[in-house]
């Protein structure tokens, strides 16, 4: 008997096209404890409300074990959805629990929207630069991702109008508060202009807002979802990652009814539902504690860390560098002067036990070699000062 062994079929093209990233490999080296890293986009772990979260898990497991260890509905825990809806309604975005779908982080929300809305070849507009994993998500869905020019205030409405007319997009993806990677916040008049473009050209807006609750200065800006022009075409994505714990993998999505239904069906096919026990613990935590009391501690610490970073940057960076001053969130966006290449300098930085993320991968087009993202959340002000002294040597 002859035995032939046929090769297995190749991986799908979309799986192959996401190759290894040299930046990711260098950043893997920053896990060493001696490295002061401005690279990670992580919330500060010492600020997790760990004891209270542990108590919430203990309570739901003791009080309702048969319920919280069981399968549950795709839409999510009613108490958690009601708590999210109440929080939004309290901030002038009238929302009922039926408008909310609980997701496995807002990252899953992005994937569900892509499944529900995007056909291969459809155009998705993004800020340039934008959140890297959103680029990957829309890319996986087969979208043609088209960048919209931005300035210090985010997406430029006139440029958006022009691109929308030319490209006939289906979806515009925005991070309007303390954007990842730039830390920029879109002002209200631009939110209005964006909503009007969406109304005029008939497109969806995905308003991804994992950082809005981390405002430690200034006035919060209304969501695009709350503007009448775009209320019927905007999806608001929220997350518990930056305000409670990213490890719990809890987010939510607020969308008009027909799209929400499509996302529920897409989620059913993806994972049936988000972890019952994690949702129940989060709902218990929100019922027993005032989230804003916890957030005030986080905001106070982040403000001090941002201040330490901003105070040290002039001495650390080459003259001619520019950066912004975010009123919240986790990131400062730096632009080195002409001739500096943030990607090429990263290995030198890591050699000095300090790290940042080069801006390059965040651009859908026309990357700026001198751009880099600095996160200020995971180190104390003293560590930030030391990190900046090390960074100064990299540019010396």
Could you tell me the smallest distance in angstroms from the CB atom of residue 52 to ligand PMP? 20
Task: Please tell me what DSSP assigns to residue 317.
Answer: S
Segment interacting with ligand PMP, rule: CB under 6 A, options 103-111, 165-173, 193-201, 381-389: 103-111
Residues 6+ apart with CB under 8 A from 392: 315, 316, 317
Q: Which stretch binds ligand PMP (CB under 6 A): 71-79, 100-108, 280-288, 364-372?
A: 100-108
Selection from 109, 163, 172 nearest residue 143 by Cα: 172
Q: How many residues bind ligand PMP (CB under 6 A)?
A: 13
The only residue of 241, 245, 274, 343 in contact with ligand PMP, by rule CB under 6 A = 241
Which are the contacts of 205, defined by CB distance < 8 A and separation ≥ 6? Answer: 171, 172, 174, 194, 195, 198, 224, 230, 233, 234, 235
Q: Which two tokens stand for residue 271?
A: 């994972």
Rule CB under 6 A: is residue 38 a binding residue for ligand PMP?
A: no
Provide, rounded to whole angstroms, the least separation between the CB of residue 105 and ligand PMP. Answer: 2
Report, in Å, the least distance between residue 207 CB and ligand PMP: 11
**Which of 37, 74, 128, 180 touches ligand PMP (CB under 6 A)?**
180
Contacting residue, 106, 136, 182, 274, with ligand PMP by CB under 6 A: 106
Neighbours of 153 (CB within 10 A): 14
Distance of alpha carbon 53 from alpha carbon 55, whole angstroms: 5
Backbone φ and ψ for 267, nearest 5 degrees, come out as -70, -40
Which of residues 210, 212, 326, 329 is near ligand PMP by CB under 6 A? 210
Residue 126-155 contact track with ligand PMP, rule CB under 6 A, x = bound: -----x------------------------
118: nearest Cα among 175, 201, 203, 14:
203
Q: Which is nearer to ligand PMP, 136 or 239 (CB)?
A: 239
| Tally of CB atoms within 10 A around 366 | 9
Q: Which residue has the tokens 């399968």?
A: 71
Q: What tokens appear for 5 in the block?
A: 């062994």
We find the least distance from the C-beta atom of residue 296 to ligand PMP, in angstroms, to be 21
Kindly write out the interface string for residues 160-179 of this chain, putting x where it contacts ligand PMP by CB under 6 A and - elsewhere: ---------------x----
Q: Copy the structure tokens of residue 196.
A: 């009007």
CA distance 275 to 69: 9
Task: Considering the complex, state which of residue 128 and residue 229 has its C-beta at the smaller distance from ligand PMP.
Answer: 128
Q: How far is the CB of 133 from ligand PMP (least distance, A)?
A: 6
Q: Which is nearer to ligand PMP, 234 or 345 (CB)?
A: 234
Contacts for 68 with CB less than 8 Å, ≥ 6 apart: 60, 61, 276, 277, 280, 281
As beta bridge partners, residue 355 has 37
For ligand PMP, the binding residues (CB under 6 A) are: 41, 105-107, 131, 175, 180, 208, 210, 239, 241, 246, 251
């Amino acid at each position: 008997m002859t035995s032939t062994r046929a090769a297995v079929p190749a991986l799908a093209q979309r799986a192959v096209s996401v190759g290894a990233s040299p930046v990711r490999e260098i950043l893997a080296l920053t896990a060493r404890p001696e490295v002061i890293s401005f690279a990670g986009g992580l919330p500060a772990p010492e600020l997790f409300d760990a004891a209270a979260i542990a108590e919430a898990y203990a309570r739901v497991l003791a009080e309702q074990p048969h319920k919280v260890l069981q399968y549950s509905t795709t839409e999510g825990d009613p108490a958690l959805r009601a708590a999210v809806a109440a929080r939004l309604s309290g901030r002038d975005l009238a929302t009922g629990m039926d408008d909310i779908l609980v997701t496995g982080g807002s990252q899953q929300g992005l994937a569900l929207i892509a499944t529900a809305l995007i056909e291969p070849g459809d155009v998705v507009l993004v800020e340039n630069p934008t959140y890297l994993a959103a680029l990957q998500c829309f890319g996986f869905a087969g979208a043609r991702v088209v960048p919209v020019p931005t300035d210090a205030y985010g997406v430029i409405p006139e440029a958006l109008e022009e691109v929308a007319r030319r490209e006939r997009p289906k979806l515009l993806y925005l991070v309007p508060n303390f954007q990842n990677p730039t830390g920029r916040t879109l002002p209200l008049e631009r939110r209005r202009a964006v909503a009007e473009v969406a109304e005029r050209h008939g497109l969806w807006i995905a308003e991804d807002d994992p950082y809005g609750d981390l405002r430690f200065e200034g006035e919060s800006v209304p969501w695009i979802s709350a503007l009448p022009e775009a209320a019927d075409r905007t999806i608001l994505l929220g997350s518990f990652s930056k305000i409670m714990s990213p490890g719990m993998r809890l987010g939510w999505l607020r969308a008009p009814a027909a799209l929400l239904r499509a996302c529920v069906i897409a989620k059913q096919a993806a994972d049936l539902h988000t972890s019952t026990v994690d949702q129940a613990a989060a709902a218990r935590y929100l019922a027993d504690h005032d989230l804003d009391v916890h957030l005030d501690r986080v905001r106070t610490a982040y403000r001090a860390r941002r201040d330490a970073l901003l105070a040290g940057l002039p001495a650390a960076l080459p003259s001619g560098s520019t950066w912004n001053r975010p009123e919240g969130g986790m990131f400062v966006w730096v632009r080195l002067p002409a001739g500096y290449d943030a990607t090429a300098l990263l290995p030198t930085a890591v050699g000095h036990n300090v790290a940042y993320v080069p801006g390059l991968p965040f651009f859908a087009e026309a990357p700026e070699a001198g751009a880099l993202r600095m996160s200020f959340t995971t180190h104390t002000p003293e560590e930030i000062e030391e990190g900046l002294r090390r960074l100064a040597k990299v540019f010396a």
